[in-house]
A and B are shown apart, each in its own frame.
Chain A
Amino acid sequence: MAEQPQLGPEPEAVHGGEPGSKPEAEPGSVVAAAFGGIGPDQIEQDLIAREARAAIPRRIGRGISHIFEKVTGGVKLGAERASHLTNAVVSKAANIKIFGQNLKTNTIDYALHHKKEIVTGAVTGAVAGGLGKAAVRGVLTGTGGFLVAAGAGAGGGALAGGVKEYLKQREGIQINEAEKALIISGLKNEFRRIRGADKKKIRDAAVRGAIVGAIGGLVGAEITDFVANNEWVQEQIAKIRVLEIRLPEVKIPQFEGTAPSVPGGFAPDFPALETTPFPTAEVTPVPAAPTLEPIATPGPVAAPTATVEATAVAPTAVPTAEATPTPTVTPIPTETPTPVPTGTPTPEASPGPPPAVQPPAAPELAPAPPASELAAAPPVVAPEASPATPPTSPVTAEPASVPPGGGLAVAQPEVPAPPAELATLPEQIPLPAGSNPWEVTDRYLHDILGRDPTNAEILQVTKEVCRQSNISVPNWEITGEIDHRKLPVNYKLIFNDPVKKLIAGMKG
């Protein structure tokens, strides 16, 4: 038997030691005695652990409510329905194996809590640079479960429809096979060159994305089933009528040359989508969800969207909580979303014909094929490529004021001055070991905004921080004295007024 931990004073101090002869019993020891020797520390730890376990389904419920609202264009689930859907998702997940392991509740929690936007994007197919509104419509019109969870099982035929839609959209894109092969080849070779932590980081990101996508598929499938079988939800959607998602991003100005694509960034709004009548599916009672053990809570999961019910909303005026003001982003005219004609596919706004691709001067290398395809192929030796170096072009006076890719600078909307609460925040943050400006900005924003910042927000602020901190980021066309890849530990990242003004705009 495990030895009892030493908890508090000895028992006699509680049960009859002579008054005055021994130190007075501490309150904890009384509790310890009352609970058969289990001390307050352990009780407290147990309570904390229990509370933490109980919080998991609540967080999952909140995540699902959030996604549901996005998918349906604004229908709020309410606590009871959120609980029902959460139970359905968690119990279904228990039967799913990914990478040889059961999909655990804490993995779903991680995905829905920490990767909420990615999962939301996976469910709706509308993440930045994503697959378009047709997919979203697909979810709602029953082709759904757009991203297929591993063994999600729900609505198998419908899921196949979702994949078909994905493939159709892939085909719909004008593919220049040679160009695609060139890009893939280049990326594969580049990946083979990098080593250690960077490689592992990318590998983990890819697998994590696959898992998160599978969870998104599972949630999407369950939502699809739920919607198809729930008359109330269908009524709410019919009232809203605009079955679109607010997620698709305003494509932040496309960079040319070596500028990076923008990871994420969500549009405040999206053009009106054709109204697709929701199928009047036969209403069948929703089966009771299996019990969730061991983490199920006795009561319903309290969702943040509690009892607010959706009412008729003007078709184009569904507000979104994720609308992110991007005061300094200058929209490019060609990126402006245009109304989508009804009854036709809804292609993504295109920035125009793609620029001609200049093949790299280095010889094209075929990446090493996987072992299963290797027979007696001779080894391929990748030549060393010169590392990316900062451009030697003259320093521009104020790169931020010129829209990347050229064009006329448009007057920036007025940015509010940083409020007093921001003014008191530190203006310099030393770069921790193993970190980078992006991560520091992410944490800074999270603390200030009280929520996970979007990628677009992080990107916007990180750029400003780099400018203010004299950090050179060639791919962002930001010049500075120190290269962003060579920042020493404790390098002072500047979060001064210009940065805080940006954040103030996001906070509002």
Chain B
Amino acid sequence: MDQQIQAYLESLVSEVLQSHALVNYTSQQKNEYAQKLRDHFNNVIFDIVLDQMTPEQLNSIKDIPMESPEFAQKIEEISAQIPSLSQVLEKRLAQETHALKNNPKIII
């Protein structure tokens, strides 16, 4: 499943990289930009999940170290409880992709 998630996000990265605004970028610049994009999408996903959480759910994770496996486990559990999260994520990521295609430099 993780590979599918990765593939989906990579497709979004590729979509943004085809923006006209990046046409003059060298391949190295594109690689660097792609890395920023990936990081940005990761942040967007995490932000969305946090924004959808109840105070109780937030309280349940706030003291867990992020590097610990419990944190990821807890995020997975909570994400599974949020209604329509997959739809929300998909919609917001599409919006992000669209915005970045129009103006890729906003994350530079």
Contact = CB atoms under 8 A, between A and B. Distances in A.
A506 interface: no
A455 interface: yes
Interface residues of B, number: 64
A264 interface: yes
B81 interface: yes
A24 interface: no
A107 B2 CA distance: 11
Interface string A174-215: 011001100110111011101000111111111111111110
A148 B64 CA distance: 28
A206 B57 contact: no
Interface in B3-18: 4-6, 8, 11
B23 interface: no
Given A206-B79, A261-B61, A263-B77, A99 B4 contact: yes
B47 A99 contact: no
A121 B54 CA distance: 16
B63 to A, nearest CB: 5
Interface of B: 1-2, 4-6, 8, 11, 39-40, 42-47, 49-51, 53-87, 89-90, 92, 95-96, 98-100, 103, 106-107
B81 A131 contact: yes
B60 A209 contact: no
B46 A118 contact: no
Contacts of B55: 173, 175-176, 179-180, 183
Contact of A121 (B62, B81, B90): B81
B80 A209 contact: yes
24 contacts: A99-B4, A118-B76, A128-B77, A129-B56, A131-B81, A147-B80, A147-B82, A150-B90, A173-B55, A187-B61, A198-B67, A203-B45, A210-B82, A213-B86, A214-B86, A217-B84, A257-B63, A264-B73, A371-B106, A372-B98, A374-B107, A455-B70, A455-B77, A475-B65
Interface string A352-368: 00100000000000011
A188 B107 CA distance: 17
Nearest to B3: A204
Nearest to A211: B86
A127 interface: yes
B95 A263 contact: no
B86 A100 contact: no
Contacts of B50: 184, 187-188
A107 to B, nearest CB: 6
